[in-house]
Structure formats: C-alpha cells, structure tokens
C-alpha cells in the first residue's frame, strides 16, 4: 500500500479525567470512503476536532500527505486539504446561501486586501470565476435556487447539505462529514449518500463519514472504523464489521444497529 492520505497514529484526546479518544490509530487512503461509527459519546466528533486542529491531541499525532499537522491552527490544516462539516450545524447565520459558500473560496483568492479595497480589475475576474464555481457546487446539491436566501432560513436537511457544499468549496482532498444525514428521513438519507458518492468520484476525494444508520454506512463505505468509549474496537469491511462480536456487543440494545 502506498503512503496513506491521512494517518492517525495513537491519538489520545483527554478532557480532564476523561479520555474521549484513547490510542486510536487508523488511516485513510486517497479516494477512499471510510465510515466512522460508534455509539453517542464514543469520541467520533472529538477525532474530527483532533484532525482539523480544533483540539490538539494529548498524545499521538495526525499526519496528512505524509506530514504531521498536529500543531497547526485549523485554517492552515484546511488549506492543506482537509475540510469538514459540523454535527451541530455551524453555518454563517447572517449570510445568504451563496455567501456561505463564497466564504470558503476565500483562501484560494489570488488577490489580497489591497485589491479588494479598490475593486481592481483582478477582483472582477476572480469574483466571476468564484461565482461560477459556487453556483456549480450549489447546483450539484440542488441549492442553486435558494442562493439568495438566508442560510439559517433553509430547512434542516438543506442546511446540512449546504455545509457539505461549503466544505467542498475549499477544494479539499479529504472531506470529513459529521453526521451529515442527521434528522433526515430514510429516502433523503439514501439520496444524500448517492450525492456523497457522486462528489467523491467527481472531485476525487477521500471521505471520512460519521453516520448512525448502520444500513446506510454499510451500503456506502468500503471500510469502517468502530469506536466505543474512545477506543477503536474494530476496523474492516462492512461484512467483517457486521460479524464482529465486539461491535454487536457495543450496539446491543441500541436500535440504530441493523
């Protein structure tokens, strides 16, 4: 196997006495779609936060494209090519759908503040290019007609999709999706998963997906990592995971298990 895109090496994240993530290692290859599952409080979101620089791992380190990223602030990690969505939706509340996505194009701008002040000719050309890119992404997710609506006025499901669009606008190599289908009904979920597969192939992305619905995860992911109480209890193909006794035990009595 060639060097993985993302590599977690014995990551531990501790909050006071609580080890939210304990010695977790796994890696993601290019263009791979990996599922991250586990009961509530298992540490999935914490792993996302450790990868994106929101938290610094207490021990261990994260490598991306063969380089350690641990000590960088989030915006630099994003610039390297890791984008994410948030479990508790974090759209820019005062902005329109279009502007939410536009913000994510910010770091790819070739002009600086001096051009923006004056609205130089460079700006005009770039703004047009950005508008085209943003609209293209919005169209993929069927949000182009709501471009001028306030982001927070969208239905819940659309807000989640907008978060994905916004993350894609940063042009990532790795996309981290934290429960993107939460609150959706089964048909919407299936639609969304198809879309995720579609953009994954179109933009040649690696995706790490957190999702509670086992049927959905099993259907879409090539590989699955299972967390429980901060520990990685299993990793493998959907078939292996389904048969793993530890996983069955962790999910026992939890109706999300299929």
Partner 1 sequence: MFERTKLILVACIAAFAALSPLIGGMNPYYFNILISVGISLILAVGLNLVNGYTGQFSLGHAGFMAVGAYLAAAMSLGILFPYLDPPQWAPTAEELAADPQATVAKWTYPFKALWLLFGWLINALFWCHNHIIPLGAALPGWGKFLFALFYGGAIAALAGLTVGVPSLRLKGDYLAIVTLGFNEIIRVVLQSADPVGASRGLPGIPLATNFFWTFTFAALAIYVVWNIVHSTYGRGFLAVRDDEIAAEAMGINTTKYKVLAFVIAAFFAGIAGGLYAHFFQYINPEGFNFMKSVDIVVMVILGGMGSMWGVCAAAVLLTILPEVLRKVAKIEALPEWAREIAENRMIIYSLILIILMLARPQGLFAGWVKKKTRPA
Ligand X SMILES: Nc1ncnc2c1ncn2[C@@H]1O[C@H](COP(=O)(O)OP(=O)(O)O)[C@@H](O)[C@H]1O
Note the residues at the interface with Mg ion (CB under 5 A): 44-45, 87
With H, G, I as helix, E, B as strand and everything else as coil, classify residue 95.
coil
DSSP label at residue 2: P
Contact residue for partner 1 among 64, 98, 141, 251 (CB under 8 A): 98
Nearer to ligand X, 4 or 230 (CB): 230
Angle between helices 121-140 and 186-202 (to 10 degrees): 130
Q: What minimum distance in Å lies between the beta carbon of 178 and ligand X?
A: 7
- Measured distance CA(85)–CA(157) in Å, rounded: 13
Q: Which of residues 149-188 bind partner 1 (CB under 8 A)?
A: 166-167, 169-170
Residues that bind ligand X (CB under 6 A): 15, 18, 20, 38, 40-46
Nearer to ligand X, 149 or 235 (CB): 235
Q: What minimum distance in Å lies between the beta carbon of 74 and partner 1?
A: 4
Cβ–Cβ < 8 Å for 60, 47 = no
Contact residue for partner 1 among 26, 86, 141, 251 (CB under 8 A): 86
Q: Could you say whether residue 118 binds partner 1 (CB under 8 A)?
A: yes
Which runs of consecutive H residues, i.e. helices, occur in 141-254?
A: 156-168, 186-202, 214-220, 238-243, 245-251
Nearer to ligand X, 37 or 91 (CB): 37
With H, G, I as helix, E, B as strand and everything else as coil, classify residue 12.
strand
The mark string for 34-63 relative to partner 1 (x by CB under 8 A, - otherwise) is ------------------xxx---------
Q: How many Cα atoms sit within 13 Å of 5 on the Cβ side?
A: 21
Pick from 43, 163, 241, 109: nearest CA to 8: 43
Kindly give, in sequence order, each residue whose CB lies less than 8 Å from that of residue 129, ignoring residues fewer than 6 positions away.
none
List contacts with partner 1 (CB under 8 A): 52-54, 73-75, 78-79, 83-84, 86, 90-96, 98-99, 102-107, 109, 111-113, 115-119, 121, 123-124, 126-127, 130-131, 148, 166-167, 169-170
């Amino acid at each position: 196997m060639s060097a993985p895109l993302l590599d977690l090496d014995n990551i531990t994240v501790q909050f006071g006495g609580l080890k939210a993530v304990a010695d977790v290692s796994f890696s993601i290859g290019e263009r791979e779609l990996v599922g991250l599952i586990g009961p509530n409080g298992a540490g999935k979101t914490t792993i996302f936060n450790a990868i994106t620089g929101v938290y610094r791992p207490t021990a261990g380190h994260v490598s991306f494209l063969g380089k350690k990223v641990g000590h960088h602030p989030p915006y630099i990690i994003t610039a390297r090519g890791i984008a994410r969505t948030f479990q508790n939706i974090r759209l820019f509340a005062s902005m329109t759908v279009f502007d939410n996505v536009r913000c994510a194009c910010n770091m790819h701008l070739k002009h600086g503040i001096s051009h923006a002040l004056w609205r130089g000719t460079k700006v005009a050309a770039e703004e047009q290019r950005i508008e085209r890119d943003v609209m293209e992404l919005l169209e993929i997710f069927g949000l182009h007609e709501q471009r001028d609506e306030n982001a927070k006025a969208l239905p819940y499901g659309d807000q989640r999709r907008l978060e994905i669009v916004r993350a894609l606008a940063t042009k990532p190599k790795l996309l981290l999706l934290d429960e993107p289908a939460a609150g959706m009904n089964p048909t919407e979920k299936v639609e969304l998963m198809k879309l995720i597969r579609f953009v994954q192939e179109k933009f040649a992305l690696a995706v790490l997906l957190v999702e509670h619905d086992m049927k959905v995860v099993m259907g879409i992911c090539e590989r699955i990592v299972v967390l429980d109480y901060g520990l990685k209890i299993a990793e493998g193909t959907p078939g292996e995971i389904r048969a793993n006794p530890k996983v069955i035990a962790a999910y026992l009595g939890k109706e999300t298990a299929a």
